[in-house]
Amino acid sequence: MKIAILGTVHSKGLEFLKENELEIVEVTNFNNQNLQEELKFVDAILLRTSRLDQDILEHCKNLKIISRHGVGYDNVDLDFLNKNKIALCITSTSNAVSVAEHVMSFFLYLTKNLSLSDKLVKGGNFTQRSELPNFFELYKKKLLIAGFGRIGKEVAKRCLGFDMEVYVYDPFLDSDLIKKSGCIPIEKNDGLALADFVSIHLPLNEDTKNFISQKELDRMKEKTILVNTSRGGIVNENDLHQALSSKKILGAGMDVFVSEPPEPNHPFFKLDNILLTPHNAALTLECRERMSLEASQNIFYYLKNMTKLNMENLVNKKFL
Ligand code: NAD
């Protein structure tokens, strides 16, 4: 059976596929015409972040499963997969810790003024150490987490460890479950108004697009720091730019962008109160290894040994 690997992945998964005698086709040219040709006869696709819409998928004559290297699947035409009974899997156990640690790095970097501190020492200005602006603690601060799934829960655990007060907005969850995790359930607008930190952990879909736009930014406090490690477009970039340049909120950390990579003249690049990372919250060495292996196992187990498949990973089970 033929497995297409779309994008570069850690060798661990590829070794697993080879050991199990699956043929690997490594695809590096994501031009539509090339994809239509290369994917025509594959049985499975291991997919990183390139888009797979109907215009490509309808050329895949043998496709049985797409296995996402990660958990978001807004880059795949799920309706097409459902109609054609093609499975979609994610790597649900692999990346929550890595993303949660990334969120903590944003919080700490932005509140400890690390970049400016480093410049002071290296520039011979050690004695200005008491003059750093916006240098403060996480202790007792209020955090709003939007989306209390795998990643939101890991962020909460770490922030409770820092003695923060953690509020959760997730209308799809029973509030008892949120309380049992030591957090406080709250409505979106109330949470935005009280939070010192806001961290977004939602899937991108029609409901969550522009989840944070001008009206939400208007509700936040002047000292609020907003972090988005979920997907570009959940935070409206123009409105955030406006809020940061007019100092309506204190700062932001963004790992994801509407268009990736962002245009070279993206307005965020001129701001000094935003920290940007290149959609690499889940790309720690350990996480890349886990995602590559789990995505490959999803393919092998789905095709050859369904009893070993983690059913949590199978997104569209009810359509198959
Ligand atoms: P998850 O499915 O476990 O959790 C999502 C949570 O959001 C669920 O609890 C759901 O009830 C809640 N939710 C859905 N719609 C909502 C809405 N409109 N309002 C409030 N809550 C809502 O997902 P996860 O594993 O925690 O991942 C979250 C997202 O993070 C993914 O969809 C993905 O796009 C993104 N992600 C980014 C990276 C990265 O590298 N930056 C890595 C992994 C995941």
Ligand 1: centre distance to CA 99 (Å) = 11
Rounding to the nearest 10 degrees, give the CA dihedral for residues 62, 65, 66, 72.
Answer: 150
Angle value at C-alpha 302, between 301 and 307, nearest 5 degrees: 60
Percent of the chain with pLDDT over 70: 100
Q: What is the pLDDT of residues 178-210, one digit of tens each?
A: 999 999 999 999 999 999 999 999 999 999 999
Q: Phi then psi for 195, rounded to 5 degrees?
A: -75, 140
Q: What is the pLDDT of residues 100-136, one digit of tens each?
A: 999 999 999 999 999 999 999 999 999 999 988 889 9
Ligand 1: centre distance to CA 252 (Å) = 19
Residue with CA closest to ligand 1 atom 35 = 230
Ligand 1, residue 169: give the atom nearest the CA: 20
> Which residues does residue 24 pair with via DSSP β-bridges, in sequence order?
3
Residue whose CB lies within 8 A of the most ligand 1 atoms, among 104, 155, 172, 188, for a mutation test: 172
User: At 162, is the pLDDT very low, low, confident or very high (cuts 50, 70, 90)?
Assistant: very high
Q: Which of 262, 263, 257 is nearest to 240 (CA)?
A: 257
- Token look-up 């789905």 returns 302
- Token look-up 């907005």 returns 169
Residue with CA closest to ligand 1 atom 8 = 149
Residue with CA closest to ligand 1 atom 39 = 281
Cα distances (angstroms) measured from residue 267 to each of 240, 241, 244, 246, 270: 10, 7, 11, 13, 6
Ligand 1: centre distance to CA 200 (Å) = 8
Any residues with Cβ below 6 Å from ligand 1, and which? 70-72, 95-96, 99, 146-152, 169-173, 201-204, 207-208, 229-231, 255-256, 279, 281-282
Q: Tell whether the torsion through CA atoms of 174, 177, 180 and 184 is positive or negative.
A: negative
Q: What is the pLDDT of residues 9-55, one digit of tens each?
A: 999 999 999 999 999 999 999 999 999 999 999 999 999 999 999 99
User: At 285, is the pLDDT very low, low, confident or very high (cuts 50, 70, 90)?
Assistant: very high
Residue with CA closest to ligand 1 atom 30 = 230
pTM of the model: 0.96
DSSP for residue 173: S
**CB contact set of 179 (below 8 Å; sequence gap of 6+):** 185
Residue with CA closest to ligand 1 atom 11 = 172
Walk me through the domains of the chain, giving residue ranges and CATH numbers: 2-94+285-319 (3.40.50.720), 96-276 (3.40.50.720)
Ligand 1: centre distance to CA 152 (Å) = 8
List active site positions. Answer: 231, 260, 279
